[in-house]
Amino acid sequence: MKVAQFQEAARRLFEAHERRERFVPLPQGLGPQTLEEAYAIQDEYVALRAQKLGGIAGYKIALSSKEMQRFVGVDEPQAGCMLDSTLHRSPATVRAADYGRLIVEFEIAVRLAEDLPTADAPYTRQRVAAAVGAVMPAIEIADDRNADYAQLARHPLELIADNSWNEGAVLGADVADWKALDLAAVRGVASINGKAVGEGRGSGALGHPLDALAWVADHRARQGRGLLRGDIVITGSLITSKTVTAGDVVVFETDLGRAELRVA
């Protein structure tokens, strides 16, 4: 594929989101056939959205569990970008009408206090830990646009091209003195409208949230890009995704604090 094809694929994705159209594979000749093509389309798509939603302010890891990877038909996680205006402080409110089908995930987020440059890759858990200024609970906001999950495994790279469906995140309060905590053991309970819908621990994020951060840093390094001071990285859902609709109140209570999202 050539640059013009990446740009055309990105334009189609952008317009499909604007029209709240159902998630379907890109037309023949525009769908990515390799990881490199998928991320090239993602770059162009994110650039289009950034004109409206602000620059890149963070990153996400998707499919961080082996179960989710098998479900989608891949053997490694995927990455996406988060744009400035889509990152909210808890409590936050979004409108269901702004999405095709709103889904939420429940994660541990980190805020970098130092750069993680490409020259330092590959990264270890210990190395990325030194760059983390704060951790916090987070609710990822995503839009699967009514995707047919039974068909998704046939087109797993299309999820990357569509920026792993990310629409931002709701961030709880920063926890700056986190280094005495075992992030893998951090427990979180998700509830919708006061009813518990799942619980998990930090180990659900690729074994350890900082291992997920290292994976994202290495991924960016392979693209010739580093992570920057101030970037937010959400490290993978500890609980299975949940669909939410107008009127729902979503709460993620953790050992690190609380994040809350209201859907109008």
Distances from the Cα of 259 to the Cα of 49, 92, 106, 125, 230, angstroms: 25, 9, 9, 25, 20
Higher pLDDT, 65 or 76: 76
Average pLDDT of the chain is: 95
Let me know if residue 258 belongs to a domain. Answer: yes
Query: How many Cα atoms occupy the beta-carbon half-sphere of 80 within 13 Å?
Result: 28
CA angle 206/209/212 to nearest 5° reads 55
Q: Is residue 47 part of a domain?
A: no
- 234, β-bridge pairs: 60, 109
pTM of the model: 0.95
What radius of gyration do the chain's Cα atoms show? Answer: 17
Q: Which parts of the chain are beta strand (E)?
A: 56-62, 78-83, 87-89, 92-94, 102-112, 132-143, 166-171, 187-192, 195-201, 232-234, 242-243, 249-254, 257-263
Domain of 155, CATH number, reads 3.90.850.10
Q: pLDDT tens for residues 177-187?
A: 999 999 999 99
Q: Is the pLDDT of residue 205 over 80?
A: yes
Tell me the C-alpha distance between 241 and 106, whole Å. 8
Residue 13 lies in a domain: no
pLDDT beyond 80 at 234: yes
Residue 75 has pLDDT above 90, yes or no: no
Using a pLDDT cut of 70, give the percent of the chain over it.
99
The answer as to whether 16 is a domain residue is: no
On the 0-12 / 13-18 / 19+ scale of CB atoms within 10 A, 199 is middle
What pLDDT is stored for residue 155 in this prediction? 85
Domain extent at residue 107: 55-263
Question: What are the pLDDT digits (tens) for 16-44?
Answer: 999 999 999 999 999 999 999 999 999 99
Residues 37, 156: Cα–Cα separation, whole Å? 12
Residue 243 in any domain: the answer is yes
Whether residue 71 has pLDDT greater than 90: no
The pLDDT, as a whole number, for residue 96 is 97
Tell me, yes or no, whether 213 lies in a domain. yes
Residue 63: per-residue pLDDT = 83
175, 134 Cβ separation under 8 angstroms = yes
| Average pLDDT of the residues in 50-69 | 89
Residue 35 CB neighbour total at 10 angstroms: 16
Alpha carbon 69 to its chain centroid, in Å, reads 15
On whether residue 144 sits in a domain, the answer given is: yes
Cα(29)–Cα(209) distance, rounded to whole angstroms?
Answer: 37
User: What pLDDT is recorded for position 65?
Assistant: 74
Assigned domain for 203 exists = yes
Closest CA to 225 of 39, 45, 41, 54: 39
CA distance 33 to 248: 38
Output the pLDDT for position 66. 72
CB 108 within 8 A of CB 202: yes
Q: Would you place residue 260 in the very low, low, confident or very high pLDDT band (cuts 50, 70, 90)?
A: very high
At 73, the pLDDT band (50, 70, 90 cuts) reads confident
- Residue 151: the pLDDT is 81
- In the chain, the number of structural domains is 1
The mean per-residue pLDDT over the stretch 220-244 comes to 95
